[in-house]
Amino acid sequence: MVLIPKRIVSLVPSQTELLYDLGLENEVVGITKFCVHPESWFRLKTRVGGTKTVDLDKVLALKPDLVLANKEENTRIQIEQLAQEFPLWVSDVQNLSDACSMIDTVGQLTGKQAPAKQMVEDIKRRFQQLSILKPSPRVLYLIWQNPWMAAASDTFIDDMLQQMGCINALATQSRYPQLSDAELVAANPDWLMLSSEPYPFKEKHLARLQSLLPDARISLVDGELFSWYGSRLLQTPAYLQQLINEV
């Protein structure tokens, strides 16, 4: 018999939102300072530090019977320390398929198999309905400045670009490379996307980038809808379709 956890600590913002949408209001006792959705939980739940700076003493005080972490978002040493004290599950999400598997697994771990299964079915159906871009534009997706940093291959963002029918301008590179102005120009994207997170790009950043890439289309995009891989994926296809329709 599988014991359903009664005290859950989530160290991953997108998975925290998933727990909320699965109806685990009473079971979740701890979240990080970056778990901003839902806003009510951000205000009321105990915060145990950042995703990479978890306050282990605060987690210990909460006495969780399940801790949810992520390979990329949390640090290995802290995950290993927590695993010595509590039941812990670590997700590893690189693409849409991984995200759907994660949602299924979290549903199984928390006794919410039915709503998790329905959520996965809805997410898959909505992505299948996307009308992808043809011909495929070369996209450079920036997540940081000073230095410029972009999402290359082996990232969830890259998979979202592929779902749109885009070609990542940094497809031959991996993860989140730093770029000089010259390297940014050499990437020669048709479309430059400026993410709202982790660096909050704004309208004021467009002029300099347009001077570097005068022929590129430049868009400010919602970073949460490109990189959060929990229940927010229910909203992502409609947002991606909106961007596709604007091209």
- What phi and psi, each to the nearest 5 degrees, are found at residue 146? 55, 60
Q: What is the pLDDT of residue 3?
A: 83
* pLDDT tens track for 166-211: 999 999 999 999 999 999 999 999 999 999 999 999 999 999 999 9
Angle at 144 between CA 207 and CA 222, to 5 degrees: 80
Residue 1 has pLDDT above 80, yes or no: no
Amino acid identity for residue 228 in this structure = W
* pLDDT tens track for 208-226: 999 999 999 999 999 999 9
Q: What is the pLDDT of residue 51?
A: 97
- Upper half-sphere CA count for residue 165 (Cβ side, 13 Å): 16
Mean pLDDT over residues 107-116, rounded? 98
* pLDDT tens track for 112-164: 999 999 999 999 999 999 999 999 999 999 999 999 999 999 999 999 999 99
Taking the alpha carbons of 149, 155, 161, 165 in that order, is the dihedral positive or negative?
Answer: positive
Q: Which two tokens stand for residue 158?
A: 């890259």
Domains and CATH numbers, the chain: 8-95 (3.40.50.1980), 138-246 (3.40.50.1980)
Q: What is the pLDDT of residue 110?
A: 98
Task: Tell me, letter by letter, the H, E, C secondary structure of 59-124.
Answer: HHHHCCCEEEEECCCCCHHHHHHHHCCCCEEEECCCCHHHHHHHHHHHHHHHCCHHHHHHHHHHHH
Distance of CA 2 to CAs 20, 56, 108, 111, 196, Å? 21, 26, 9, 9, 40
Q: Which two tokens stand for residue 64?
A: 């969780």
Q: What is the pLDDT of residue 230?
A: 97
| DSSP class per residue in 144-193 | ETTTEEE--BSSHHHHHHHHHT-EETTTTSBSS-EE-HHHHHHH--SEEE
* pLDDT tens track for 32-91: 999 999 999 999 999 999 999 999 999 999 999 999 999 999 999 999 999 999 999 999
Distance of CA 139 to CAs 40, 88, 150, Å? 36, 37, 10
Angle at 200 between CA 49 and CA 16, to 5 degrees: 40
